[in-house]
Structure 1
Amino acid sequence: MTSSHKPSAPRPQGLVDPRIYRRIFEQDQDGAAILDELWRVFAKGAVCEGGIDAVLKTYRNDGARMVLEHIVRRINQANGVTDHDDGNADDRD
């Protein structure tokens, strides 16, 4: 299946306006349901048993969680909430 979506004009630093994240994932009922499902499916914790396989699963889980945290961080920015640096913040925004 091919997508007919064409990228819009470039934005500063390539970032989408945080208000769009808020509108889609917080204000729109369907978007909020999708975000809830993404958390249920992809927000997994560390795997503590299984040697190197556990480490690899933990890294994979962390990568999925980082995407979700990015979405929430952008919603928070639109709502005027600022990140507090706890040493784990992803400053790529």
Structure 2
Amino acid sequence: MIYFLIVLVLIFAIATVICGLGWLEAHRALEEERLVNHRIKEDAQNVGTSNDTTSVSEVETGHQIKRKFYRKPTAETYRNVFDFDINGQRILEDLTNVFCRSTYVRGGQDAERESCYRAGQSSVVNHILAKINQANDPNFKEQLDD
């Protein structure tokens, strides 16, 4: 009987230690999550106070997913990214080579679908080029479409 009580006390002590370790681990995870959220808020505030014209707002759309909504890019933004930056120029050149080919495909209904698909692909690149040209126009004045 005494051995039985000693075993029960030992099991209870081990269970208490295991639960305590689990609680400590959960507490550390919560503290780390608080720190990360605090850093995210600080970064969002820093973005809002910097000279960057992009505003960020986060919306929770699920259990672990946060989606950011940015202000609509202006023609000036397109020009800065794709006209002034060398990497943007390389990307635009690659997009043009891949997606701006002849849209017409000869044939029946499947060819018509392929023609529409190619036209949709090239319209994205054409939109980027139109925004760059709009920003390069000497009479252009930036207006936000909000």
- Return the TM-score normalized by structure 2: 0.46
* Higher fraction of helix: 2
- 1:60 positional shift: 0.3
Aligned pairs (5 A) from 1:4-83: 6-8=68-70, 10=71, 15-80=72-137
By relative contact order (CA 8 Å, sep 6+), the higher-ranking structure is: 1
Kindly indicate which of the two structures has a greater share of residues assigned to strand: 2
Unaligned stretches of 5+ in structure 1?
Answer: 83-93
Give the C-alpha shift of residue 81 in structure 1: 6.6
TM-aligned CA distance change 1:37 to 1:5, over 3 Å: farther
Q: State the alpha-carbon separation in 1 of the partners of residues 87 and 109 from structure 2.
A: 38
Structure 1 position 5, deviation (Å): 6.6
What residue number does 1:89 align with?
A: none
- Deviations along 1:13-69, whole A, 9 cap, x unmatched? xx4211110010011000010011001111121333231111101000000111111
Q: Which amino acid aligns with 2:97?
A: R
Q: Report the Cα distance in structure 2 between the residues aligned to 1:73 and 1:67, rounded to whole angstroms.
A: 10
Report the secondary structure of 1:48's partner residue. Answer: coil
Answer with 1 or 2: which has the greater Rg: 2
Deviant stretches of 4+, over 6 Å: none
Say how many residue pairs are matched. Answer: 75
Structure 1 vs Structure 2: percent identity of aligned residues?
32
Where structure 2 has 5 or more consecutive residues not aligned to the other structure, the ranges are 1-64, 140-146
Instruction: Give the alignment's TM-score, normalised by structure 1.
Output: 0.69
Letter in 2 for 1:25: F
